[in-house]
Amino acid sequence: MKRTVVIGAGQAGASLVAKLRALGDTGEIALIGAESAPPYQRPPLSKAYLMGEMPTERLFLRPEAFYAEQNIDLRLGQAVTTIDTAAQTVTVDGDVLHYDDLVLTTGSVPRRLPASIGGDLDGVFTLRNLADVDAMKPYFVAGKRVVIVGGGYIGLEGAAVAAKLGLDVTVVEMAPRILQRVASAETSDFFRDLHTSHGVKIIEATGLERLLGEGHVTGARLTDGREIAADFVMVGVGIMPATALAEATGIALDNGIATDALGRTSVPHVWAAGDCASFPTEGGRIRLESVPNAIDQAECVAGNILGAEKPYVAEPWFWSDQYDVKLQIAGLNTGYDHIATRRSEGAVSFWYYKGDRLLAVDAMNDPRAFMVAKRLLAMGKSPSAAVVADAATDLKALLK
């Protein structure tokens, strides 16, 4: 009987195996995950779960019984050690599994601070998986001092939770401004003002020289000589595609595991999807780190394993929740040269343009702007910047 083996039991892996069954695949399916928990949502980890507002079971993408009911061999807490592409086998915890199709949905891993600057001290955490948050949660107590290294979305979401719980919060960002890698100066200004209004101290254009302490972290020394006391440190300096297994197998890499438009890697019968995979798009290759991409790409690959031959076309969108603000992002702002700002009561959106072409939108508490922008981008339409900036413009009319 035909067998599909999926390595990586995150959002992409779980979406792929469910889609295979929904499309009528009656073959054997194995889903292998290194974590002991069944596939779960990651976004709430830095929000509701960290706040203590969501029990562990509500993180799960599906009840664990689903996998047994769908005859999916879910192997948790197990690591794949080798892939033999000639024999079409994987070795997992001593077992050798044959595959007809193998899918790598290995996701991503957080960048960590080097041990040489204190990155291995107790009380230094990343925020990537359930174990990370469970280890960190006891420190989220009013009055505790936290230094957050990195002013990206993960760092700022952690800062928002800490501030709401009454902690003393300092964010250190080595770039000239927070969110510089992913957003405009206007969006950075919005979130800087939001965080400072909640008592968060934000230090920009200043690097971390080293963490202080012996055994347990006690503070941080910055490149300008300042020292900041800390009871614990949260590191949010980005993620990297988890490609070690693919690299050891000889699968081609290019900003992640390189796939073609269908999701196939350089090795026959091996596919990839999600955070770990880069794929061709207009103007080159891209790798997207988002839940919607993990789902859509994985489901597309599932169809192609069954013969659909359908190229994956991404429609990027993202979100972030901080305090009472929901940021929704449609599109990719790469290469923008000007911004149109649209304001209404309690909401603002920044529309990114390159020349006359709409590229992306950041919408803060403005779901209408987000939904309209998402549809405009899918339709290839670009209303003028002056039109979208005019608060009197009916956005929905732009879709006609």
Q: What is the pLDDT of residue 240?
A: 97
pLDDT value at 95 more than 90:
yes
- Is-contact 393 370, C-beta < 8 A? no
- Alpha-carbon distance 108 to 128, whole Å? 9
**What percent of the chain has pLDDT above 70?**
100
Q: How many whole angstroms separate alpha carbon 32 and alpha carbon 196?
A: 43
Q: Strands of 338-344's sheet, edge to edge?
A: 317-322, 325-331, 357-364, 347-354, 338-344
> pLDDT band at residue 282, thresholds of 50, 70 and 90?
confident
Per-residue pLDDT, averaged over 335-363, amounts to 96
Whether 58 shows a pLDDT value over 90: the answer reads yes
Number of domains the chain contains: 3
Q: If you write DSSP's letter for every residue of 164-228 in order, what string do you get?
A: HTT-EEEEE-SSSSTTTTTS-HHHHHHHHHHHHHTT-EEE-S--EEEEE-SSB--EEEETTS-EE
Contact 2, 28 (CB under 8 A): yes
Nearest CA to 242 out of 279, 286, 284, 272 is that of 272
User: Does residue 226 share a domain with residue 120?
Assistant: yes
25 and 119 in a single domain? The answer is no
The DSSP output letter for 54 is S
312 within a domain of the structure (yes/no)? no
Average pLDDT (154-168) is 97
Are 70 and 37 in a shared domain? yes
Backbone φ and ψ for 299, nearest 5 degrees, come out as -65, -35
Task: Kindly state whether residue 138 falls inside one of the protein's structural domains.
Answer: yes
* pLDDT at residue 320 greater than cutoff 90: yes
Say if 317 falls within a structural domain. no
H and E: helices and strands count for the chain = 11, 26
Residue 103 belongs to domain spanning: 3-109+240-305
What are the beta bridge partners of residue 212? Answer: 219
Whether residue 365 is contained in a domain is answered as yes
C-alpha 287: how far from chain center: 11
Burial of 356 (0-12, 13-18, 19+ CB in 10 A): exposed
Q: Is residue 310 part of a domain?
A: no
Mean pLDDT of 333-340: 96
Same domain, 102 and 133: no
Identify the bridge partners of residue 185 per DSSP, sorted by sequence position.
none
Question: Do 9 and 100 share a domain, yes or no?
Answer: yes
Whether 157 and 136 map to the same domain: the answer is yes
For residues 364 and 286, membership in a common domain is answered with no
The confidence band for 17, taking pLDDT boundaries of 50, 70 and 90, is very high
Residues 294, 338: contact at Cβ < 8 Å? no
59, 14: one domain? yes
- pTM of this prediction? 0.95
Rounded to 5 degrees, what angle do the CA atoms 84, 89, 93 make?
100
Query: For position 224, what pLDDT does the model report?
Result: 97
| pLDDT band at residue 283 under the 50/70/90 scheme | confident
- Mean of pLDDT values over 88-110: 97
Q: Would you say residue 345 has pLDDT above 90? A: no
Q: Which residue type, as a one-letter code, is found at position 91?
A: T
Q: What value does the mean pLDDT take over residues 247-252?
A: 98
pLDDT at 299 over 90: yes
Residues 196 and 209 in one domain: yes
pLDDT in tens, 192-233: 999 999 999 999 999 999 999 999 999 999 999 999 999 999
> In 3-state terms, what secondary structure has residue 45?
helix
100 and 246 share one domain: yes
Q: Are residues 54 and 203 in the same domain?
A: no
With bands split at pLDDT 50, 70 and 90, how would you rate the model's confidence at 262?
A: very high
- pLDDT above 90 for 246: yes
What are residue 219's phi and psi, to 5 degrees?
A: 170, -175
Q: What is the model's pLDDT at position 272?
A: 98
Distance CA 139, CA 275 (A): 29
Q: Say whether pLDDT at 400 is over 90.
A: no
CATH number, residue 340: 3.30.390.30
The Cα 45–Cα 329 span in angstroms is 20
- Residue 265: is its pLDDT beyond 90? yes
Helix, strand, coil content of the chain in percent (nearest 5): 30, 30, 40
On whether both 276 and 352 belong to a single domain, the answer is: no
pLDDT of 237 reads: 96
Mean pLDDT of the region 152-164: 96
Residue 109 predicted with pLDDT over 90:
yes
Task: CATH number of the domain at 230, please.
Answer: 3.50.50.60
Residue 61 has pLDDT above 90, yes or no: yes
Given the structure tokens 């469970």, which residue do they identify? 134
pLDDT tens, position by position, 33-46: 999 999 999 999 99
| Cα 43 to Cα 47, 124, 168, 345, distances in angstroms | 7, 20, 23, 28
- In this structure, is residue 313 part of a structural domain? no
Q: Are strands 208-212 and 219-222 parallel, antiparallel or unpaired?
A: antiparallel
The percent of residues in the chain predicted with pLDDT above 90, rounded, is: 96
DSSP for 226-258, please give it: -EEE-SEEEE---EEE--HHHHHHT--BSSSEE
How far apart (Å, rounded) are the C-alpha atoms in residues 318 and 329? 5
- Rounded mean pLDDT, 260-272: 98
* Dihedral in degrees, nearest 10, Cα atoms 229, 231, 234, 235: 50
